[in-house]
Amino acid sequence: MNQYNPPKKTGSLLERAGEIYDYIPAVRTEEQRDNAPKSAPPETPARQVIPVRQRPVEAYDGPTVIVDRDKLRDAGFIVPDGPVTGISEEFRIIKRQLLLAAKGSQKMAPLPRGERILICSAHPDEGKTFCALNLALSIAAEKDNEVLLVDADFAKPSILSSLGLEGSKGLMDALADPQLPVENCIIHTDIPGLAILPAGDQTNADTEYLASSRTEQVLNRLTQNNPNRIVIFDSPPALSASPASVLAMHVGQVLMVVKADETTETALRDALSLLGGCDHIQLLLNGTKFSPTGRRFGSYYGYGE
């Protein structure tokens, strides 16, 4: 078991993970601007400011695939339109912080490329795909956003099988073939707000394709016509495959999944150093068997586990 100081009695899962592993995420900040009102020149008439409205994006009305809800339920994932559970409440809390960083607020500017979120771990079997899929399902329930879940674990893709879907062309195919529009690889599901971009066929040069200039062009196409889309990447483990470090340079946020009592501090720090291409990294403590506050998420609604 890792050595750590007892956590505080309050704080989110992200904050508790950071405290346990003595890690302070790097948060990009901006200099304070002088907001003091300045008087206009005496003879300059005041101008009326007219807000500019973004043109709404038309809803997709093409073919969709049916996600196996029973398969989701049996595997412990959030079930769309299902009852409120402890796991669904936890991911509601987690997604709110990520969406705030992506969209900004009156007190903070949005992170550059904050709508792209990389879910990673140090080693396999620490819960990154479980967290990526649950986070995507939770964001899909938002009224003002939709989510595109990208299976970027090219060596061992598992998103489609977790949803009970068939394989198809995906991200790596679009990177390798300039004639293949990445939009044509997206799978739209019958879950409102949820679309999937499969990993595609693995190559012997996955990392090199990701490091090419074409990657940024392809990723920009995922959101350029849909400003309300959040893109979540299910990454390979950082210490097991090289694509994770390259993917980190293309996103605005990284969520590092840390498995309680299994992920060592050394492994975590080594993984974080490889993901230094992203300036905004947070930790998600997964698989905890205790709650310092005794709180059981979801119990307020009568569905506590």
Any idea where the domains of the chain sit in the sequence? 13-24+62-104+115-289
Q: How far apart are the C-alpha atoms of 162 and 69, rounded to whole Å?
A: 10
Query: CB count, 10 Å around CB of 159?
Result: 24
Q: Are 171 and 185 in contact (CB under 8 A)?
A: yes
| Angstrom distance (rounded) from CA 200 to CA 171 | 6
The percentage of residues in the chain with a pLDDT greater than 90, rounded to a whole number, is: 66
Per-residue model confidence (pLDDT) at position 243: 94
For the CA atoms of the chain, what is the radius of gyration? Answer: 21
Q: What is the pLDDT of residue 167?
A: 81
Sheet strand arrangement including 116-121: 187-188, 194-197, 146-151, 229-234, 116-121, 253-259, 281-286
How many Cα atoms within 13 Å fall on the side-chain side of residue 93? 14
pLDDT of residue 32: 42
Give CA–CA dist 177/195, Å, rounded: 22
Q: Three-state secondary structure along 178-204? A: CCCCHHHHCEEECCCCEEEECCCCCCC
Instruction: Determine the pLDDT at residue 63.
Output: 79
- Contact in structure between 292 and 9 (CB atoms under 8 Å): yes
DSSP state of 65: B
Backbone angles phi, psi at 81, to 5 degrees: 65, 15
Position 153 scores a pLDDT of 96
The predicted-structure confidence for 125-174, as pLDDT tens digits, reads as follows 999 999 999 999 999 999 999 999 999 999 999 999 999 898 889 999 99
CATH superfamily placement of domain 13-24+62-104+115-289: P-loop containing nucleotide triphosphate hydrolases (3.40.50.300)
Q: What local confidence, expressed as pLDDT, does residue 24 receive?
A: 56
Residue 136's Cβ-count burial label (10 Å; 0-12, 13-18, 19+) is buried
Cβ of 153: how many Cβ atoms within 10 Å? Answer: 26
Residue ranges in the chain whose pLDDT is less than 50: 1-7, 9, 26-34, 36-37, 39, 41-42, 44-56, 302-305
- State the CB neighbour count (10 A cutoff) for residue 15: 17
Q: Characterize the bridge pairing of strands 194-197 and 187-188.
A: antiparallel
Contact 136, 147 (CB under 8 A): yes
Length of the chain measured in residues: 305
For the entire predicted model, the pTM comes to: 0.79
Both tokens assigned to 104: 């900004």
